[in-house]
A and B are shown apart, each in its own frame.
Chain A
């Protein structure tokens, strides 16, 4: 079983749609959680951290359920510029540093 598993893609949605990505992780000792975004042939970039109480950043909402070892990302009012691969990421180890384990990623394509 992979340490971090995500919904298979691709997701093809029209502009303005709401789309949700799901992710599960296997290591119950995981310390911190993130969503990264990766554009085609570019490096991954941090989209947002995920906190136990849930957090929002504009059109993006992240949720964490430690009991179920489940992470989600909701994108509202999707834009063409949201087209990218979204990576669920878990930090296993120390809170400061440690190592990031990436899911396979879910590709999102937003169409006009």
Chain B
């Protein structure tokens, strides 16, 4: 298994642009999580899905952020419009039972 695959690995964009982060979970995993990590705030849970259905999006910072999971093998996290304070590493993780596996993350820089 290739593990959780995230793309792109790095993204540099200008303030105001739309950014889309992508995640392919491990096949058979029924939970998918989006986290954001910054030096100041550590790892924060943004949203998670169970069987493609959003369960808890209380961590999504504001309306500029949206996440979708159209099928069991793909999820996106979109930021529109992006702002410099969105700069962070965004991790996707998937799980089945108690085993959680993280992707390598997307390092986002908004200038």
Contact = CB atoms under 8 A, between A and B. Distances in A.
Interface of A: 32, 42-46, 49, 87, 91, 95-105
A100 B42 contact: no
Interface of B: 30-31, 33, 35, 42-43, 45, 48, 50, 56, 91, 93, 95-100, 102-105
A42 B91 CA distance: 10
A96 B104 contact: no
B104 A42 contact: yes
A42 B95 CA distance: 18
Contact of B42 (A98, A99, A103): A103
Nearest to A2: B42
Contacts of A87: 43
Given A96-B97, A97-B31, A100-B33, A44 B102 contact: yes
A38 to B, nearest CB: 9
B36 to A, nearest CB: 11
Nearest to B104: A43
B100 A100 contact: yes
Contact of B45 (A44, A100, A103): A100
A103 to B, nearest CB: 7
Contacts of A32: 98
Contact of A105 (B42, B50, B56, B102): B42
A108 to B, nearest CB: 16
B100 A49 contact: no
A29 to B, nearest CB: 15
A78 B97 CA distance: 31
B91 A99 contact: no
B45 A99 contact: yes
Given A32-B98, A95-B98, A99-B48, A43 B103 contact: yes
Contacts of B103: 43
A28 B93 CA distance: 25
B91 A43 contact: yes
